Chains A and B, each alone.
Chain A
């Protein structure tokens, strides 16, 4: 029983990390109707930037206090992501206004490849560390309920809390602010939003900036856990099923979807895996998403997709 709960908790926290990445997808889709395949590359780029800035700052300025260094590195990396967002809007999105979804999707695929190459060219392609002071040792908790206690990974727990905080902030942003409302209008219909005076270009830059910051937070957390390396970019692929499950237009959906996928992956690997040869984590999420697509394509919380003739 304890083992089951441990696996469950581990899954929940892993799921939270997926949700972080999925959040970036949902944001951009909600606001611009574009599915951003480059989200993973953005996570990698942001993480690389932060890791290297944290490395270079002490060398260049003599600052060594870790909290300060990390903070400045974070802010610098955020600035870099803003610039990336602005460039993407300027060079790519502006020229593809009102093209159909598939074209935009493939354009973001191209952007992904470009960012991966650029990031590694500028920041290098070794494995880098991000050390934001996350406690690496697991903790035994609840030992009054279960003998010996449950093994909980503190790092994952803190990551989950950060993610939850981010989600709360974003939800408030979308629902309560006028910019959020403008974002939702743009997601619905580019041309209509333009015709009522919403500055499309500025909105898109804002959205991609926000997504960039989300990517940075995700990159920081994943990078702290796994080290910053190229495989971070493929995390986007792991997070895709999350948005299918949760619904492409729903922020809470990204969270719930992430949790379900995280738990599902861990549980299926532990309890089903041995029967079929193991390693089913790589496709479990996808097959689950596939089944959802057949039954309920808009996901748990997404809006229904209607075709008009």
Chain B
């Protein structure tokens, strides 16, 4: 009842093909953006920014990138951490070595470094797929791990191996408060999400999905698998690289190569699986889930245990976290392979016909 499309007729193709064809969706998104940009800065605490909002925004961007590669183009990748690392260290090198390098171009250049790295390590996708491709992307991951640990040039030869940035500003405005950092990342996220959505509903998006669904048939109708796969790697690693540089510059401030280890890659993959592969919104939902779950468990489990009369240590919570992650992955793959995004659209469908059952 709330979600009926009755009366919303489209009279032109642009109208039919817009990102949010249903009016209720448009209203919802506008409200969401208003809340995110205008309301949240007033009401959120420092803790919320640092522990939830900023990581969520940056991880949502990274998950978006991973989704393009894994969800839309069907190329499994366990090297996302490496792409983030290349983005971060690339941006760092431009920022620290080039005098007066402004922040935004440095971040974008970091993204381009990640693109080059991604295309290089994406070449195996032209020969293999599935598990074999996963192994190839792991090669990228471990190689990047080593590169930023041992090749001192990347870290400007600091003795400790960790690097840091400070005094960030964009267009003259200093990024020192949590609110300013949050708004900066959010703006970038919205822009990138819009561009990504356009790509995904356009010709290249269809090519990616064709390759994912049946690449032999795709070749026969004139899609060149090489171009489609490498462009997926390129776009995806660019986005992941920018997210990586944001993660390093804005969230961490100072970091070591271990910040981008293979665990990060798995985390991103889980976000995409749980959130929903092949769906832009899925990246958001998955990132929210994975960012919030540990915090939720940290508060919830000790509380429940307290009610039952015994104490739980943080190690128990972290073990529980592992178990819940694992169980959720398996559960989603069995029950709803299209993840939270599918559950969301099922929910919308129910709202469409409420109060009738179908």
Q: Report A's interface with B, CB cutoff 8 A.
A: 35, 91-92, 95-96, 99, 101-103, 105-107, 109-118, 120-121, 125, 237, 240-241, 244, 248, 276-280, 282-283, 286-287, 289-290, 293-294, 297, 307, 309
Binary CB contact string for chain B from 114 to 138 against chain A (1 if under 8 A, 0 otherwise): 0000000001100110111011101
Chain B: minimal CB distance from A107 (Å): 5
Which residue of chain A has the shortest Cβ distance to B335 in the bound complex? A95
Grouping DSSP codes into helix (H, G, I), strand (E, B) and loop, the B interface class, with mixed when no group exceeds half, is: helix
The answer to whether A105 and B130 have CB atoms under 8 Å apart is yes
Which residue of chain B has the shortest Cβ distance to A281 in the bound complex? B146
CA distance A42 to B324 in the complex (A): 17
The answer to whether A283 and B316 have CB atoms under 8 Å apart is no
Grouping DSSP codes into helix (H, G, I), strand (E, B) and loop, the A interface class, with mixed when no group exceeds half, is: helix
Q: Report B's interface with A, CB cutoff 8 A.
A: 74, 76, 123-124, 127-128, 130-132, 134-136, 138-139, 142-143, 145-146, 149-152, 216-217, 262, 266, 269, 273, 315-316, 319-330, 333-334, 337
A114/B127 contact (C-beta < 8 A), A103-B337, A107-B330 known: no
The answer to whether B124 and A294 have CB atoms under 8 Å apart is yes
CA distance A35 to B330 in the complex (A): 15
The answer to whether A114 and B323 have CB atoms under 8 Å apart is yes
Chain A: minimal CB distance from B179 (Å): 35
CA distance A283 to B146 in the complex (A): 7
CA distance A138 to B269 in the complex (A): 44
A297/B146 contact (C-beta < 8 A), A102-B76, A121-B316 known: no
Partner of A114, one of B132, B151, B262, B322: B322
Which A residues lie within 8 Å of B76 (CB)? 102, 105
The answer to whether A113 and B326 have CB atoms under 8 Å apart is yes
Which B residues lie within 8 Å of A287 (CB)? 139, 143
The answer to whether B319 and A117 have CB atoms under 8 Å apart is yes
A-B contact pairs, 17 of them (CB 8 A): A95-B334, A101-B130, A103-B333, A105-B131, A107-B334, A110-B333, A114-B323, A114-B327, A114-B330, A117-B320, A117-B326, A244-B135, A276-B151, A277-B150, A287-B143, A290-B139, A307-B216
The answer to whether B139 and A289 have CB atoms under 8 Å apart is yes
A293/B330 contact (C-beta < 8 A), A117-B319, A240-B138 known: no
Which A residues lie within 8 Å of B123 (CB)? 294
